[in-house]
Amino acid sequence: MTIGIDLGTTYSAVAVVHEDGAPEILEGESGRLTPSVVFFDGIQPLVGLAAKNMAAVAPDSYVELVKRRMGTRYVAHSDENGKEYVPEEISAIILRHLADNARRHLGTDEKDVVVTVPAYFDDAARTATKDAAKIAGLHVRRLINEPTAAGIAYGITKNTKGTYLVFDLGGGTFDVTIMKVGDEGFEVVATGGNRALGGFDFDNLLMSHVNADVGAQGGPDLFDDGALQAALRRDCEEAKRRLTQLTRTSINTAADNRLFRTSVTRDEFEAMSAPLLRRTEDIAEEVLDEAGIAWSAVDGTLLVGGSTRMPMVAAMVERLSGSKPRSDANPDEVVAIGAALIAASLDAEQEGTRPQRTIRDVTSHGMGTIVQDAATQQPYNAVIIPKNSTIPCEFQDTFYTLIARQEHLDFEITEGDSAVVADVEVHHVDTLRLPPGLPEGAPIHITMAYDVDGTIHADILDVTNNRPLGDFHLPRPNNMSSEEVAAATVRLRSMPEEE
C-alpha cells in the first residue's frame, strides 16, 4: 500500500487510504503532525517534537527549514567530525522517520511513497526531493503538487465540484492554484506562489516585536544568542497560535536572570502582518489573471496550510472573493490526505481494479532557451514551453543561424517567464558543433518536453540537413550525483534509528 507523505517546511504528515476507501492521518510520536526538524545528539538523529524540544538547548545541533534549500548545495549542518549534510540528507532523515511510523501502523515494509511538493518547485528542487527519498530507502511513485493534492482531497472526500481557488499558506511557502474539479477528474488551470513566504515569516515579525520590546525594557538583544533566539522563536510561534483564538496575549522572555513581559493584541499582530498578507493577495490576483478568471467565476476558495487558521486570512479571502472560504477540511492535514488518495489510485491502477480519475497539472514556470535577436544582436530568453501548460507537454520552436557558416551553437535551457535573460534561471547544456556550410538563417528546430514527473527533455534538429544535433536533459549541477546519493544512502543506513 503506497504511503502518502506531505513533507512540509515546518510540519509533515503521513496518510494512507484503507481498504474501504477511507483516508487516515497516521499519528506518530509527535502526534498527527511531525515538526520537520532534526536534532543531532551525537549518537542518533532525533526527528519531530523530540528534536524541536532541543532547539533552545543546543541550537548548533538543530536543523530546520531545509525545504527552502532543496535543490541547492547549501550546507544544512556540519557535525563535530566536520561531516557536512546537504538538504537532501536532512530531508531523508525526516522521510525515514515518517515512513517508519507508517510501517509500524501498517505492519509492512512498504517502500513506495507519493510525496508532495510546492507547485512552483523547480526541476532541481523536485529532483532533490526524489533523491532524499532514495537516500531514505524509499521509492517515489509520484511527486504531486501540494495544492493539487489538497484540491483532490476536497474533491473526493467532500464531493466538491466546480472551479476552485486553492489558497495554501503553510509554514514556509505560499501557493495559489486554480483548479477545475469535475466527475472525470481534476484539471489545474494556473498556479503561482512564493517559495519563501509562510508562517515562519509571521513568527519573525513577532520575534522582532518582542526583541524590540525587551530591549526597551533594558534587556539584551535576543538575536545575539542562539539559545535565546531559539526560545524566542518557539514562544512567538505559540503566541501566534494563541492569537488565532484570543484577541490579546503576552510573551514572557527569560534573559539576564530577569523576566520580560510583552503583550501583543491581535490587532497589533494583524497590523504588522499587513505587508505579508498583501503579498499573498497580489499573487492570488496574478494567478487569476493568468488563468483569465475573475473572482466572480470562482465557485469557492479552499484554505490549505496551517497559517490559513489565522483569522485575517479568511477575512482577506472573503473580502476578495465575496464569499466565505471553505473550512470543512483540516488545513494542515488535507495535503497528506490528498497524497494518500493519489497513492491509492496509483495502487488501484496497478492492480487494474478501479478506473483512475484523471489528474491534469500544469507547469509552474516557462521553459525556453537563449537566442540572439537578429536585429539588435542582443540575447533574449525565448520561452518554448509557456507557464501553465498542461503536463505532460511538448512544444517546438524554430530559430535561425545568425551568420553563414556558423560553427557552434551554445544551447541553454532556461526556467522562467521573462524575455530578459537576467530574470530567468539559465542552465548551459552544451556547445553544439554545427555541420559545415550552413547558410545564414538556417533553421534549427528545438523540441522541449515536460513529463508527469517534471523532468525536462530537449531535442535539436538541423532542418537544412534533417539531422538531429542532440538529445538533452537539464543539467543539474546543484543536485547530488548518483554516487553521492549512493554514499548518503549507506551513511544514513549506518545511523541508528531512534526508538
Ligand X SMILES: Nc1ncnc2c1ncn2[C@@H]1O[C@H](COP(=O)(O)OP(=O)(O)OP(=O)(O)O)[C@@H](O)[C@H]1O
Tell me the catalytic residues. Answer: 6, 67, 146, 168
Q: Taking the complex as a whole, how short is the minimal distance between the CB of residue 198 and ligand X, in angstroms?
A: 4
> Quick one: cell of 76?
544544512
State the Cα–Cα distance between residues 360 and 463, nearest whole angstrom. 33
- Tell me the window of 165-173, 241-249, 355-363, 474-482 that interacts with Mg ion (CB under 5 A): 165-173
Query: Which residue minimizes CB distance to ligand X?
Result: 199
Provide the minimum distance between the beta carbon of 307 and ligand X in the complex, in angstroms, as a whole number: 4
Q: Which does 172 bind (CB under 5 to 8 A by kind): ligand X, Mg ion, none?
A: ligand X
Which of these ranges, 3-11, 87-95, 178-186, 256-264, lies near Mg ion under the rule CB under 5 A? Answer: 3-11
Residue 369 forms beta bridges with which residues?
382
Task: Give the residue from 486, 483, 484, 442 showing the smallest Cα distance to 461.
Answer: 442
Draw the binding track, 77-116, toward ligand X (x: CB under 6 A; -: no contact). ----------------------------------------
| Smaller CB separation from ligand X, 52 or 180 | 52
Each residue 8-47 as x (binds Mg ion by CB under 5 A) or -, in order, gives: x---------------------------------------
Residue 416 contacts ligand X per CB under 6 A = no
**3-state secondary structure (DSSP) of residue 183:** coil
Q: Which stretch binds ligand X (CB under 6 A): 50-58, 77-85, 155-163, 238-246?
A: 238-246
Nearest Cα residue to 197 out of 278, 127, 126: 278
The yes or no reply on residue 307 touching ligand X (CB under 6 A) is: yes
| Rg (alpha carbons) of the chain, rounded to whole number | 24
Total number of residues shown for the chain: 499
Between 199-216 and 226-245, two packed helices, what is the crossing angle to 10 degrees?
Answer: 110
Residue 234 interacting entry, from Mg ion, ligand X, none, C-beta within 5 to 8 Å by type: none
Task: Give the residue, chosen from 59, 199, 219, 300, that forms a contact with ligand X under the rule CB under 6 A.
Answer: 199
| 201 forms part of the interface with ligand X (CB under 6 A) | no
How is residue 299 written as a grid cell?
A: 465557485
Binding range to ligand X, per CB under 6 A, among 99-107, 165-173, 182-190, 484-492: 165-173
CB of 462: closest distance to ligand X in angstroms? 44
Closest alpha carbon to 252 in 266, 267, 276, 231: 231
Q: Choose between 13 and 316: whose C-beta lies nearer to Mg ion.
A: 13
Residue 201: what residue type? D
Contact 388, 191 (CB under 8 A): yes
For the chain, the straight-line distance linking the first and the last C-alpha, in angstroms and rounded, comes to 24
Choice between 129 and 262, CB closer to ligand X: 129
**Which CB atom, from 11 or from 167, has the smaller least distance to ligand X?**
11
Which positions ≥6 away from 271 have C-beta within 8 Å? Answer: none
Is the Cβ of residue 63 or residue 166 nearer to Mg ion in the bound state? 166
Q: Choose from ligand X, Mg ion, none: what does 198 bind? Cβ within 5-8 Å by kind.
A: ligand X
Q: Please report how the helices 266-291 and 311-321 are oriented relative to each other, as an axis angle in degrees rounded to 10.
A: 40
CB of 168 closer than 8 Å to CB of 147 = yes
338 binds ligand X (CB under 6 A): no
Stretch touching ligand X by CB under 6 A, among 133-141, 154-162, 305-313, 419-427: 305-313
Residue 59: name its binding partner from Mg ion, ligand X, none (Cβ under 5 to 8 Å by kind).
none
Closest CA to 196 of 225, 175, 166: 175
Residue 457: other Cβ atoms inside 10 A: 15
Report the DSSP pairing between strands 248-255 and 258-265: antiparallel
Asked if 305 interacts with ligand X (CB under 6 A), we say yes
Binding-site residue total for Mg ion (CB under 5 A)? Answer: 2
Q: Per rule CB under 5 A, is residue 118 in the interface with Mg ion?
A: no
What residues between 60 and 79 interact with ligand X by CB under 6 A? 67
Phi and psi at 408, nearest 5°, equal -125, 160
> What is d(CA 198, CA 276) in angstroms, rounded to the nearest whole number?
9
Furthest C-alpha separation in the chain: 82
Of residues 307 and 345, the one with the C-beta less far from ligand X: 307
Find the binder of ligand X among 4, 8, 59, 193 (CB under 6 A): 8
| Smallest separation, CB 2 to Mg ion (Å) | 19
Residue 173 touching ligand X (CB under 6 A): yes
Determine the interface stretch with ligand X among 170-178, 390-398, 410-418, 446-454 (rule: CB under 6 A).
170-178
Task: Tell me how far apart the alpha carbons of residues 339 and 343 are, in angstroms, rounded to a whole number.
Answer: 6
**Residue among 175 and 498 whose Cβ is closer to Mg ion:** 175
| Residues 171, 65: Cα–Cα separation, whole Å | 9
Measured between alpha carbons, how far is 425 from 413 in angstroms, rounded to an integer? 8
Residue at grid coordinates 493534492: 149
Asked, as a colleague might, if the bond just before 392 is cis with ω within 30 of 0, I would say yes
Q: How many residues bind ligand X (CB under 6 A)?
A: 24
Could you please report the per-residue DSSP string of 91-139?
HHHHHHHHHHHHHHHHTS---EEEEEE-TT--HHHHHHHHHHHHHTT-E
Cβ proximity to ligand X: between 175 and 415 the closer is 175
Q: Shortest gap between Cβ of 30 and Mg ion (angstroms)?
A: 15
User: How far from 377 is each of 96, 373, 401, 429, 444, CA to CA, in Å?
Assistant: 52, 5, 12, 21, 18
Using CB under 5 A as the criterion, which residues of the chain lie in contact with Mg ion when the complex forms?
8, 170
Using CB under 6 A as the criterion, which residues of the chain lie in contact with ligand X when the complex forms?
8-11, 33, 67, 146, 170-173, 198-200, 237, 240-241, 244, 305-307, 309-310, 332
